[in-house]
Amino acid sequence: MTAALKTVQLTKDYGDRPALEPLDLEVGEGQHVALVGHNGSGKTTLLRMAAGLLDASDGDVWIMGHKSGTIEARRSLSWLSDTPTFYDDLSLWEHLEYVGRLHGVAQWHTKAEELLERLQLSNRRDDIPTTFSRGLRQKAAIALGMVRPFDVLLVDEPFVGLDSNGKTTLLELLDESAAVGATLLVATHELAFVGRVGRLLALRDGAIVYDGPPADADVHSLVLPS
């Protein structure tokens, strides 16, 4: 079976400061993985390299058997950043339209309507998302990440700024994606979320210090810096 996400000796350093030690990792199709670690442990670096947004110092990332950044990898991968970016001259609805269409979804509006409804953004669809509050921007980013089809969903700090309804909706959406076979890799500081996943990865100073079922792990000690 092809790994949904595979890294081979993936390394990143910023000058003389290593951000990620050589990392060999395989995440199988349909796996639901939480990525934890202290600030600066390398979570975002790993995810950004997997999304193709950050050049690796060495090594490779493969998404559904395709090298990261290739057109096939981009088709399979959806990336939800912790700092969502939007056009400052397009409404949320237009964002959904173009993101959907860029990913080959001709009937994007059905999914867009549903997402806006569930994220309680229907009344803001004609507003410009750059003017939204932190929480609303996060919700808008979730809608954009999910309006298109994907096999692998990479999420960085998804709960930041969300109200309790938003958190519940996001958890439901993640569960639904997992239920239809999508692979999820979620970097988070919300340790309560860890109990919902099948696999826990913990990073410390750029190296994996735990990889296994969350039930066997002392999560609180894993997120402490060395």
Site for other proteins in 135-164 (CB under 8 A): 144
* Interaction of residue 105 with other proteins, rule CB under 8 A: yes
Q: Are 127 and 88 in contact (CB under 8 A)?
A: no
Interface mask (CB under 8 A) for other proteins, residues 1-30, using x and -?
Answer: ------------------------------
Nearer to other proteins, 6 or 74 (CB): 74
Considering the complex, what minimum distance in angstroms separates the CB of residue 50 from other proteins?
12
Looking at the Cβ atoms of 125 and 204, the one nearer to other proteins is 125
* Residue 69 engages other proteins in binding (rule: CB under 8 A): yes
Shortest approach of other proteins to residue 148 CB, angstroms?
Answer: 8
Q: Which of 3, 8, 90, 160 binds other proteins (CB under 8 A)?
A: 90
Applying CB under 8 A, among 4, 32, 43, 79 the residue interacting with other proteins is 79
Report if residue 183 touches other proteins, rule: CB under 8 A.
no
| String of DSSP letters for the chain | --EEEEEEEEEEEETTEEEEEEEEEEEETT-EEEEEE-TTSSHHHHHHHHHTSS--SEEEEEETTEETTSHHHHHHEEEE-SS----TTS-HHHHHHHHHHHTT-TTHHHHHHHHHHHTT-GGGTTS-GGGS-HHHHHHHHHHHHHSS--SEEEEESTTTT--HHHHHHHHHHHHHHHHTT-EEEEE-S-GGGGGGSSEEEEEETTEEEEEE-GGGS-HHHHTS--
Q: Is 132 in the site for other proteins (CB under 8 A)?
A: no
**Contact positions toward other proteins, by CB under 8 A?**
51-55, 69, 71-72, 74-75, 77, 79, 81, 84-95, 97-99, 101-107, 109, 113, 125-126, 144
